[in-house]
C-alpha cells in the first residue's frame, strides 16, 4: 500500500512539473511565432507560421528608436550592476565580519524592507528626485535601483560571507594585511557565486522594469526598452503587436543567454545565501 502511495505521489509530482513546463514554454513559443508571422495583427497569428519572416525585426531596427532604447537600457543596467554589487558587498561584509551596536536591528530592518513592494515609495522617490534635480535623468533611476537592491542582496551575500572561515582572514592579518586587503583579496574571490547572482539580477532589473522608468524618465531620447516598446503599442489598436513581439524576443534573448552561461554561479549563489542568515 505504501509503495502505491509513493508511486502516486511521484506521478502527481511529474504531472505538476509537466503542467508548469507547458504553461511556461507555451507563451515563449507563441511570442516567438508571432514575431515571425507576416502582417501586424494578433488575430491571425500562428504559433508555427506557414511563411515565417524577419520583416518585423528589420522594421524594428530601421523605423523605430529600438537601438537607442537598447543603448539606454544597457547603460543603466551596467551602471546599476556595478554600483549595486559594490554597495551590497561592502554592506554584507560589514554585517558579517564586524560586531557593532544596532547590527541586529539593521539586519532586521533590511529583512523587513524586502516585504514591501517598491511601488509604495514611488511618490516619495518622485518628490526626492524632483528636489535633487535628478528627475528625467538616468543617474536618478540608477540610484533608485542601486538603493533598492541593498536589502535583498545584503542577506544573500552575507550568507555566503558567513560560511568563509575567519581563520583565513586572521592568517592574513598576522602577515600585515588590513581589512581592505582581506576583503578584496580573500573574501571577494571566494564569493564569486554570490557576486554573480547579485550583479546579474541588478543587470537584468532595468530590462524588466517599466513602472519606475515611466515615472522617472520623461524625455523620448532617454527611454528604456520597456518604455519604448510599451509606448509603441499603447496608442495603437491591434496594429503593432507583432512588432512588439519581435522587440520582446530581442530583449529576452541576451538575458536568457546570460542566465544559461552563469547558471552554475546563480544556483551556488542562491544556495550559499540561504545556507546561513
Q: Is 89 exposed, middle or buried (0-12, 13-18, 19+ CB in 10 A)?
A: buried
Measure the CA angle with vertex 243, ends 241 and 247; round to 5°. 110
Cα–Cα nearest to 199, from 114, 113, 265: 265
C-beta of residue 225 within 8 angstroms of C-beta of residue 251: yes
Predicted local confidence at residue 191, as pLDDT:
82
Share of the chain above pLDDT 70, in %: 88
Predicted local confidence at residue 74, as pLDDT:
93
Separation between Cα atoms, residue 239 and residue 153, nearest integer Å:
41
Separation between Cα atoms, residue 277 and residue 273, nearest integer Å:
7
Tens digits of per-residue pLDDT, 220-276?
889 999 888 888 877 655 567 788 888 888 888 888 888 888 776 666 655 554 444
C-beta of residue 160 within 8 angstroms of C-beta of residue 265: no
For the chain, the average pLDDT equals 82
Which position has the higher pLDDT, 131 or 42? 131
Q: What is the DSSP string of 67-114?
A: HHHHHHHHHHHHHHHHHHHHHHHHHHHHHHH---TTHHHHHHHHHHHT
| pTM for this model (two decimals) | 0.81
The answer, yes or no, to whether residue 71 has pLDDT greater than 90, is: yes
Within 185-240, where are the H helices?
A: 188-190, 192-208, 211-216, 225-234
What element of type H or E holds 30? helix 2-35
Separation between Cα atoms, residue 103 and residue 97, nearest integer Å:
11
The answer, yes or no, to whether residue 76 has pLDDT greater than 90, is: yes
pLDDT, mean of residues 157-162: 84
Burial 48-80 (b: 16+ CB within 10 A, else e): ebeeeeeebbebbeeebbbeebbebbbebbebb
- How is residue 206 written as a grid cell? 532595468
What element of type H or E holds 168? helix 166-174
Separation between Cα atoms, residue 96 and residue 111, nearest integer Å:
15
For the chain, which residues make up each domain, given as ranges? 2-55, 65-275
Predicted local confidence at residue 142, as pLDDT:
93
Inter-axis angle of helices 225-234 and 66-97, nearest 10: 140
pLDDT, mean of residues 141-154: 87
C-beta of residue 129 within 8 angstroms of C-beta of residue 140: yes
pLDDT, mean of residues 66-89: 93
User: Cα–Cα distances in Å, from 126 out to 131, 141, 146?
Assistant: 9, 10, 16
Predicted local confidence at residue 86, as pLDDT:
92
Residue 164: pLDDT band with limits 50, 70, 90: confident
Separation between Cα atoms, residue 26 and residue 23, nearest integer Å:
6
- How is residue 41 written as a grid cell? 495583427
Tens digits of per-residue pLDDT, 21-58?
888 888 888 888 888 887 666 655 666 777 778 888 88
CATH architecture of 65-275: Orthogonal Bundle (1.10)
SS3 59: helix
Amino acid at each position: 500500500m505504501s509503495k502505491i502511495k509513493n508511486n502516486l505521489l511521484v506521478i502527481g509530482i511529474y504531472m505538476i512539473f509537466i503542467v508548469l513546463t507547458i504553461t511556461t514554454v507555451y507563451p515563449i513559443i507563441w511570442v516567438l511565432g508571432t514575431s515571425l508571422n507576416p502582417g501586424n495583427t494578433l488575430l491571425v497569428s500562428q504559433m508555427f507560421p506557414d511563411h515565417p519572416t524577419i520583416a518585423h525585426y528589420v522594421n524594428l531596427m530601421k523605423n523605430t528608436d529600438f537601438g537607442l532604447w537598447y543603448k539606454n537600457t544597457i547603460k543603466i543596467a551596467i551602471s546599476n550592476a556595478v554600483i549595486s554589487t559594490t554597495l551590497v558587498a561592502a554592506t554584507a561584509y560589514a554585517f558579517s565580519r564586524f560586531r557593532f551596536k544596532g547590527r541586529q536591528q539593521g539586519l532586521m530592518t533590511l529583512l523587513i524592507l524586502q516585504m514591501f513592494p517598491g511601488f509604495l515609495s514611488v511618490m516619495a522617490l518622485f518628490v526626492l528626485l524632483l528636489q535633487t534635480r535628478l528627475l528625467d535623468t538616468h543617474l536618478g533611476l540608477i540610484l533608485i535601483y542601486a538603493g533598492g537592491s541593498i536589502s535583498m542582496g545584503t542577506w544573500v551575500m552575507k550568507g555566503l560571507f558567513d560560511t568563509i572561515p575567519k581563520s583565513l582572514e586572521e592568517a592574513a592579518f598576522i602577515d600585515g594585511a588590513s581589512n581592505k586587503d582581506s576583503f578584496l583579496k580573500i573574501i571577494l574571490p571566494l564569493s564569486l557565486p554570490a557576486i554573480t547572482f547579485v550583479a546579474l539580477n541588478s543587470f537584468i532589473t532595468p530590462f524588466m522594469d517599466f513602472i519606475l522608468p515611466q515615472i522617472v524618465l520623461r524625455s523620448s531620447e532617454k527611454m528604456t526598452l520597456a518604455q519604448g516598446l510599451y509606448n509603441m503599442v499603447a496608442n495603437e489598436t491591434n496594429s503593432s503587436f507583432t512588432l512588439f513581439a519581435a522587440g520582446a524576443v530581442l530583449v529576452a534573448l541576451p538575458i536568457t543567454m546570460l542566465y544559461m552561461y552563469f547558471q552554475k554561479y546563480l544556483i551556488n549563489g542562491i544556495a550559499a545565501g540561504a545556507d546561513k542568515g
